[in-house]
């Protein structure tokens, strides 16, 4: 791989960014075509950018810096700019978390986040994040991996190294019901994935428009809930991990018992929501970080 650029490892307002915390921010971020090496803390992903499919590697460089490398022929200046912009988006480097950090600094149980936690590793598109989230519903993690691996392996466009990017809506729409039933083995989700892909491919549905900062959270949530296969859990998950809308708490079969274990007692959803109410539009992020602190060892922030 060749180095195509470096980027400051800081947030939009100059806040610190812990690369390890970002790479380990949530499980869906590790689904194909993204791969996270938690021994070396390196992200690898395969992207279709400017009509060229490339595998990228993102790792820490000098203090407070990341190095972006790419396979294949040297990219043009325009391609290089697009690739680096994609990396910034995937790492959520343009998010401003100052207000969240100010709130967390006064919370003894969450003050640790101010060293650079809180950025959610994203896919390049909302479409990809929605598809992956639908694949997490009502199934074991191994089934989620199986479904997403099949989508990428069978439908994704290849890079020069043989790895594949996430399939386009058109490719998923053209696959047909038999693929989702017999290859991806997506069960009832297959119909939802096919319908979603067809609506996006036909131009009926613009999921990327959900990134519009002019939209209110309630409007974004409603649009997500109107999607096939998306319920309250999936909507909250996409809002938190993909759209930078941090107000909704993710309640599911993992978050509820994990919170109970950490607190030493059962708590209702209302009780949990009251605990994080002081965070306002960052309540969901505070809840998620409270649950996942142990996912990364407490060391000095990488790159900082």
Would you list the domain boundaries of the chain?
Answer: 2-115, 126-236
> What average pLDDT score do residues 36-62 get?
93
Burial label, 27 (beta-carbon count in 10 A; 0-12, 13-18, 19+): middle
Residue 299 confidence (pLDDT): 55
Q: Strands, DSSP E only, in the chain?
A: 2-8, 35-37, 42-49, 52-60, 65-70
Distance CA 15, CA 28 (A): 25
Asked whether residue 193 carries a pLDDT value surpassing 60, the answer given is yes
Model's pTM, two decimal places?
0.94
Torsion of CA 288, 273, 137, 39, to 10 degrees: 10
Topology of 2-115 in CATH?
TATA-Binding Protein (3.30.310)
- Average pLDDT, rounded, for the chain: 95
Residue 26 confidence (pLDDT): 95
Asked whether residue 219 carries a pLDDT value surpassing 90, the answer given is yes
108: number of CA atoms within 13 Å, CB side?
0
User: Residue 302: which pLDDT band, with cuts at 50, 70 and 90?
Assistant: very low
Asked whether residue 179 carries a pLDDT value surpassing 60, the answer given is yes
Asked whether residue 21 carries a pLDDT value surpassing 90, the answer given is yes
- Comparison of pLDDT for 49 and 99, the residue scoring more: 99
Hunting for tokens 């209702």 — which residue is that? 268
> What average pLDDT score do residues 234-253 get?
97
Q: What is the DSSP letter of 271?
A: H
User: Residue 50: which pLDDT band, with cuts at 50, 70 and 90?
Assistant: confident
**Which CATH architecture group holds 126-236?**
Orthogonal Bundle (1.10)
Residue 304 confidence (pLDDT): 38
């Amino acid at each position: 791989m060749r180095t195509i650029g470096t980027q400051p490892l800081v947030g939009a307002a100059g806040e610190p960014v812990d690369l390890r915390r970002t790479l380990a921010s949530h499980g869906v971020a590790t689904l194909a075509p993204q791969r996270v090496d938690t021994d070396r803390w390196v992200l690898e992903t395969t992207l279709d950018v400017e009509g060229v499919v490339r595998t990228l590697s993102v790792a820490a460089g000098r203090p407070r810096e990341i190095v972006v490398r790419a396979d294949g022929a040297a990219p043009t200046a325009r391609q290089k700019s697009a690739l680096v912009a994609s990396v910034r988006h995937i790492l959520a480097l343009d998010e401003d978390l100052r207000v969240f950090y100010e709130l967390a600094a006064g919370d003894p149980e969450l003050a640790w986040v101010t060293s650079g936690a809180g950025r959610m590793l994203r896919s390049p598109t909302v479409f990809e994040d929605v598809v992956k989230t639908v694949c997490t519903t009502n199934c074991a993690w191994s089934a989620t991996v199986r479904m997403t691996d099949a989508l990428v392996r069978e439908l994704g466009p290849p890079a020069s190294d043989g790895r594949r990017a996430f399939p386009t809506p058109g490719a998923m729409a053209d696959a047909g019901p038999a693929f989702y039933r017999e290859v991806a083995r997506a069960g009832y989700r297959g119909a939802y994935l096919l319908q979603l892909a067809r609506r996006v491919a036909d131009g009926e549905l613009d999921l990327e428009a959900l990134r519009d900062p002019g939209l209110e959270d309630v409007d974004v949530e409603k649009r997500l809930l109107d999607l096939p296969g998306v319920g309250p859990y999936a909507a909250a998950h996409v809002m938190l991990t993909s759209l930078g809308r941090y107000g909704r708490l993710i309640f599911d079969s993992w978050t509820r018992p994990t919170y109970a274990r950490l607190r030493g007692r059962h708590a209702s959803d209302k009780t949990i929501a009251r605990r994080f109410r002081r965070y306002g539009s960052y309540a969901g992020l505070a809840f998620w970080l409270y649950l996942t602190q142990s996912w990364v060892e407490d060391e000095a922030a990488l790159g900082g």
